[in-house]
Amino acid sequence: MATELIAGKTVDEALSMSGSDLSAPLGPLPPMKIHCAQLVEGALRSALKPSTPAAPIPAAAAPSSQPPKSATLFDSLHSGTSSEKKVKIVLKQPGS
């Protein structure tokens, strides 16, 4: 649900969304499930906020260009070089 909601948004717009914004299309959540929305919000923030490395990255190892500030989330996730690791997501069919 969260990925559908952040599609086409800039990184700043996606970071401004709260757990309740991300779970709103699901309707009211039972009290025992509210933490699920908070987990999604935390995961989104962890994935999108730039981390501060322990040591400075040498200029040769740093990406040659950063996406523009108005780039969408999709653009920022797909702006890497071909030498970066690729992630393949495989959905399992029920009963597999």
Tens of pLDDT, residue by residue over 51-80, are: 655 555 555 555 555 555 556 766 666 666
Share of residues in the chain with pLDDT > 70 (%) = 57
In whole angstroms, how large is the CA radius of gyration of the chain?
17
Q: Is residue 59 part of a domain?
A: no
Residue 36 lies in a domain: yes
- Residue 91 included in any domain: no
Q: 16: closest CA among 44, 36, 37?
A: 44
Whether 79 is covered by a domain: the verdict is: no
In a domain, 82, yes or no: no
Helix (H, G, I), strand (E, B) or coil at 65: coil
Q: Are 31 and 43 in contact (CB under 8 A)?
A: no
What is the count of structural domains for the chain? 1
Please check whether residue 72 is in contact with residue 9, taking contact to mean a CB–CB distance below 8 angstroms.
Answer: yes
Among 41, 58, 84, 25, residue whose Cα is nearest residue 76: 84
Residue, of 91 and 7, whose pLDDT is higher: 7
Specify if 56 maps to a domain: no
Does residue 15 fall inside a structural domain? yes
Q: Which domain holds residue 42?
A: 1-50
Residue 89 lies in a domain: no
